[in-house]
Amino acid sequence: MSEGIEFEGNVIGTNTKTDFPTYANEDDDKPKPASVCYQWWKRPSGVAAVCLGLLCVLLLARIIGLSVHYGVIGHQYFTERDKLQTSYNNLTEERDQLQIKYKTLTEERDQLQIRYKTLTEERDQLQTRYKTLTEERDKLQSERESFLLVKVFGNSNYYVFMEQRNWEYAKQDCLKRGAQLVIINNQEEQKFLVSLNIRFWIGLSDIENKGTWRWVDGTPLTTAYWGEKEPNNEGGGEDCAEIRHVFTDPVKKWNDNSCTSQLNWICEKPID
């Protein structure tokens, strides 16, 4: 009986030992033994894959971290760069303004120096002019104070010098002025000179010949108006004559004195 048993489907064989037909998908629904399960973690390639994956994750994380870090640094860099650029621009503008101001101040300084030089020259000129005018003023004051045109007497002008000098100086000063140390020709002229009421040299001396009195024009003395007991040649050196108001006589006022004494003097100049 075992032979010839026919089943639906294909008959595999006629052996009494039952052989079941094998279908293509027959083992799909059957549980697999544990020994044949897919244990990928035990394979070297799986470990390598896992390590590689972890490494990739770490690298990705590192890349992301670096990107964030350098992004922040980059932002700070550009911010600082912009600030520095702005500061640089501001400093450049300030420098330009300072250069303009410096140039302006330099020009003003040069103008002030020129003005200062001009004012200095003007000051020096004014000082020179002031000095000249001062000298002229002093000279005029000295001339005004040093002599006084008293008045015309007879045919002469009489100049009374108020400064005091020795007899020789007085003589030479009168000659420089085209005049002579006063020569007394008569009593009227003597009275006129006495009326001036000052002590002064007259043009009379005995310098050339002791005891022989002569006028400065060389003429000998003929009419004299010596004071009492004069000339006395006191001390042995009185060789020049003066008018002195110590004598009681109203006319006789002559006195012999040392020629080195310092007295006023009168120059006489004929009227042309």
Question: Which comes out higher in pLDDT, residue 181 or 151?
Answer: 181
Instruction: Identify whether the C-beta of residue 265 lies closer than 8 Å to the C-beta of residue 200.
Output: yes
What phi and psi values does residue 253 have, to the nearest 5 degrees? -125, 10
Please classify residue 196 by burial: count the beta carbons closer than 10 Å to its beta carbon, then call 0-12 exposed, 13-18 middle and 19+ buried.
middle
The CATH number given to whatever domain includes residue 203 is: 3.10.100.10
> How far does Cα 222 stand from its chain's mean position?
76
For residue 231, being part of any structural domain is answered with yes
Residue 54 in domain: no
Q: Quick check: is 71 in a domain?
A: no
Neighbours of 209 (CB within 10 A): 10
Question: Do 177 and 197 meet the contact criterion of CB atoms below 8 Å apart?
Answer: no
Strand partners, 256: 241
Rounded to whole angstroms, the maximal C-alpha distance in the chain is 225
Using alpha carbons, select from 215, 218, 208 the residue that is nearest to residue 185.
Answer: 215
Helix (H) or strand (E) holding 215: strand 214-215
> Does the pLDDT value for residue 73 go beyond 50?
yes
Report yes or no on 171 lying in a domain.
Answer: yes
Residue 159 lies in a domain: yes
pLDDT at position 94 is: 92
Q: What residues make up the domain containing 158?
A: 154-270
**pLDDT, position 149:** 64
Amino acid at 75: H
Averaged pLDDT score across all residues of the chain: 83
Q: What is the mean pLDDT of residues 215-221?
A: 96
Tally of structural domains, the chain: 1
Cis before 21? omega within 30: no
Q: Which of 49-63, 177-191, 257-271 has the lowest mean pLDDT?
A: 49-63
160 occurs within a structural domain: yes
pLDDT above 50 for 1:
no
pLDDT value at 160 more than 80: yes
**Residue corresponding to tokens 């003429």:** 219
Contact 181, 187 (CB under 8 A): no
More confident residue, 33 or 239: 239
Residue 40: what pLDDT?
53
The answer to whether residues 269 and 177 touch, using CB atoms and an 8 Å cutoff, is yes
Q: What pLDDT was estimated at residue 206?
A: 94
For residue 156, pLDDT over 80 is answered with yes
- With 90 as the cut, is the pLDDT of residue 65 above it? no
Q: 124 in a domain, yes or no?
A: no
Reported as a single tens digit per residue, the pLDDT across 13-63 is 444 444 445 444 445 555 555 444 455 556 677 778 878 888 888 888 888
Is 207 part of a structural domain of the chain?
yes
The least confident of 115-124, 151-160, 184-193, 242-251 is 151-160
Mean pLDDT check: name the lowest of 8-22, 74-88, 96-110, 191-205: 8-22
